[in-house]
Amino acid sequence: MQRTMKKSLLVLAAAMLFSVPVQAQTPKTLIPVGAAVGISLETDEVVIAALSETVTAAKDAGLRPGDILLKINDKTICSTDDVAEAVKQSAPQCTVCYERGGVKHSSKVCLAKTTQGQALGIYVRSSIEGIGTVTYYDPADGSFGALGHGVTDNLSQKRLHVTEGAVYNATVAEIRKGGHGKPGALRGMLGTLRLGTVKANTGLGVFGTLDTFIPEHEAVEVASWRQVHTGQAEILSSLDGERAEYYRVRITELNETENDTKNFLLRVEDDRLLAQTGGIVQGMSGSPILQDGRIIGAVTHVMIDDPTTGYGVFIGNMLHRAEKIQKAA
């Protein structure tokens, strides 16, 4: 295997180092899925989503969108309700503790007086929704893995600590084609049909169980990392929210010692996919990759300067993480 890979600006379609990739004690077969789903996650981390243009108390104190609220005075912040209650009970001035870029800060804020009472002048959120792709389904226990990387808050750039989450059907309403320096995306909406539960959001993907799921494809053998090689392969992906289709790709480089979500480099060669999307786009993260009739991994990243090229993670690394989650439950 080659031990070096091209370096380029990446966008998650998302770092630990492994001396040798982990091959989990996995079931012999899994069902590759490739279906686009809606993922809704609740977290106990409250993020400033925006600052008010009319009430500037927080802005004047130096707070910014993306800051994670930790405490207001002595009250620990775990929900949006905690923020409202803490502000209500504060004197005209309060101390806000928050995290920015992994560093904790503290600011004194002079609360503004409004017709509704005291106000910080912030909009907050403690949940996130989006579109992603399910990589595999295990019919033995109903478990699934998706995305191949963790879900991060786009403002704080921090992977969300999930307290609960759900998977829903999704409708892909628009495909924004990728180009040089401009990553594309699948734009869609969450449906109302709940398909399952999210148990964990990890650096190697979102994992949980599916309760309402009808497989469209047959189960295939799980490949070990030693069985993965350069050359022809396929990705399975749904571009319309309906049936997933196979698209031809080529694995150009392998690396067992790099970042665990970038175990191999792949290039899209299927004219149908290139015509529709320009290559790999956001929302295709988690699309299963198959080679020689086996599932070998999932798409994780797209290169901004070349949307026909992206990275994938070994399926064994995803399954090893899923096993650790099961044991900890």
pLDDT tens track for 215-225 = 789 999 999 88
Q: Model pTM?
A: 0.83
Phi-psi region of 177 (alpha: psi -120 to 50; beta: other; left: phi over 0): beta
Contact 69, 98 (CB under 8 A): yes
Catalytic residue among 153, 285, 306, 320: 285
pLDDT tens track for 4-21 = 444 334 444 533 333 344
Instruction: State residue 138's pLDDT score.
Output: 94
Stronger pLDDT, 22 or 190, i.e. the higher one: 190
- Please say if 270 is a catalytic residue: yes
pLDDT above 60 (res 267): yes
Instruction: State residue 156's pLDDT score.
Output: 79
pLDDT tens track for 175-212 = 888 888 788 888 878 888 999 999 999 999 999 999 98
Distance of CA 193 to the CA centre of its chain: 21
Stronger pLDDT, 158 or 284, i.e. the higher one: 284
Catalytic residue among 60, 240, 270, 292: 270
Catalytic residue among 149, 237, 260, 320: 149
pLDDT band at 259 (very low <50, low <70, confident <90, very high): low
pLDDT tens track for 224-245 = 888 999 999 999 999 876 789 9
